[in-house]
Structure 1
Amino acid sequence: MNSSSPNIGTMLNQSLAVLSRPSVATFERFERSGGLREAYTYVLIAALVGAVISGFFGIFHQDVNPLVQFFSRLISVLIGFGVFTGAVHLIGRNFFRGTGTYPEVAYTYALFYVPLSIIGSVIGVIPILGWLALFLIAILNVFFGWLAVQSSMNIRDQVQAGITLLLSGVAYWMVSTILLTIVLSALFLNR
């Protein structure tokens, strides 16, 4: 990490560079610009935007508590980001001898994840268009994630980078399923 940590404006400019000039080289320029604190602060912004939007639209649904919507979105984004980027680091390092650090992975992923997440949160509430936009954003997340694996973990083999991304997605899905099962079990067993 550089001696001076980037601020949100700097990170936004780095995000714009990554999104407008997608390449491993572009990610390489920024992967050591920040660390975990900056990555998670940036992701927290995306989580807050998504949580406010979820909470706001939860007001219009009588069967949904807006505070539950707000906090579940806030927590799930932060935990999901940590689980996924942690899986990228562990799988890349242990299976493909990647040499990146977890802070490099987290920071690199935050640069594309945050703006795409905010766009998804804003557009996602629009009927039909929202579903199409979320599908497109999912594809973009895979594409940028594939580039970020190559950069942040220094895995230049594109197949190994793809396998790392795929296995990380499976790990994310498994952890999410386990957590959801625990939460639902707690809710229904307490009734």
Structure 2
Amino acid sequence: MIDTTAEGIVVIIRDRTVFQLLAWNFWLDEDTRDSIRLVVSELVTNAIVHGRSTYRAPIIEIGIIARRGEVYIEVSDPSDEMPVVRPIDDEREGGRGLLLVECMALKWGAERLPHGGKRVWTLLRIPPRPSALRRHRPDREARQRHRAQLQAQLYANWPLTPIDSRPLAMAT
């Protein structure tokens, strides 16, 4: 069963973000995974808390763009209230999320959307894959030889003559 509470949604989105980067074959050490989870948690939590209307939960959108060395993450919500980094107050329980984002990000910012609402974005560093873990990339001729070997194996068991070699009739 999926946890549909605000906390459950935040956990799903932050873990899905890390999973997506891994699926795109980005190497993430444990510290980077934790940083991404923390930043996504803060941005999504803020979108849920501040994007909420009186009648329903907010519709939030998450975008991820990754390239070598960095990942851009954006979270949009329907609220026009722009985020503010507040000074640390020992009396207040919350309000430190954007301060954490500011400390962990290369850059971050917020902008109003033309149709209403806002987008809060952050740019995080992704460390390069250690050289010991880099995949060996054979040269072009070796790849072509390997492809030819695979095709030969594939077609070795292929029927010598097709069942019907006539071209398909075109529908008119």
Same fold (TM over 0.5): no
Of Structure 1 and Structure 2, which has the larger fraction of its residues in helix? Answer: 1
TM-score by length of 2: 0.32
Q: Which has the higher contact order (CA 8 A, sep 6+)?
A: 1
Of Structure 1 and Structure 2, which has the larger fraction of its residues in strand? Answer: 2
